[in-house]
Amino acid sequence: AGGLSAVSPNAIVLALVRLVAGVGIGATVPPLFSLVAELSPPSTRGLMVTIVASFWMIGSIYTAVMAIIVFQWNYGGWRTFALWCALPSATGAALVYYLVPESPRFSALHGEFEKAVKVTNMLGSYMGNDVHDDDALTLEEVQHCYKDSVIQDDDDDDEDEKSKMKKAKQSIQTLYTPKMRSTTLPLQAIWFSLSFGSYGLLIWINSIFVEVHLKDVYTNALLFAVANLPGNVVS
């Protein structure tokens, strides 16, 4: 979507492409943190999640630097800026595709038991565990644990769309049962407040800089991006 932004013929197409990019970001964040937590050693799991979260701020710094290079130093226009901003995402997607293994639990839930065993034992070795034949995870162990939990792929279209939507609705409703409501609602309120404050200020920050007559808008945007990093690391 970032690359398509650079070749958008008009504002409407650009807005639609950015909408797709936003949906992609929203769909990526939850599985990203879940996968990092699953693939990281327990002793450094918190650190790994923090590092991943910090790259959001690093991306903001990168974007601010590219804005200075492209707009302030006149090395291209907004299309060039869009391409440079899309480069990290494209690079990251390629690296994840080729280097990051699939979630062992996901593989097991979809009946790929051999793949789950292979990845789990590989991760055990990476985490410093001395995995020998005697204590390595076996295919039989995974099959025993997940034999009743395998998600069947519906290739025959036996389940219609209404049934699928009903199941999805029931899953969402589970979050608002009396038992879960006291956890779900506060978390949603906190996340809404954080997103509203962060994204709201981020969107309008350059306009604020102009209104208060700051001369170097792009450098101030860079300083604003850098200021986010220490707070994320400390928290």
Q: Per-residue pLDDT for the chain (235 aa), expressed as one digit of tens each? A: 778 888 889 999 999 998 998 888 888 888 888 888 888 888 888 888 888 888 888 888 999 899 999 998 988 888 999 999 999 988 988 998 888 888 888 888 888 888 888 888 887 777 766 656 556 777 777 777 777 767 765 554 555 677 778 877 888 888 889 888 899 999 999 988 888 877 777 777 777 777 888 778 788 888 888 887 777 777 6
| 47 & 9 share domain | yes
| 93 & 15 share domain | yes
| 24 & 113 share domain | no
| 34 & 91 share domain | yes
- The span from the CA of 66 to the CA of 68, in Å, is 5
| 92 & 114 share domain | no
| 3 & 24 share domain | yes
| 217 & 143 share domain | no
This prediction's pTM: 0.73
| 166 & 221 share domain | yes
Domain count, the chain: 3
- Which positions ≥6 away from 107 have C-beta within 8 Å? 113, 115, 116, 119
| 92 & 144 share domain | no
| 165 & 180 share domain | yes
Query: What's the domain range around 137?
Result: 102-153
Report whether 221 contacts 205 (CB < 8 A): yes
CA dihedral 95, 100, 106, 108 (to 10 degrees): 140
| 149 & 79 share domain | no
| 5 & 92 share domain | yes
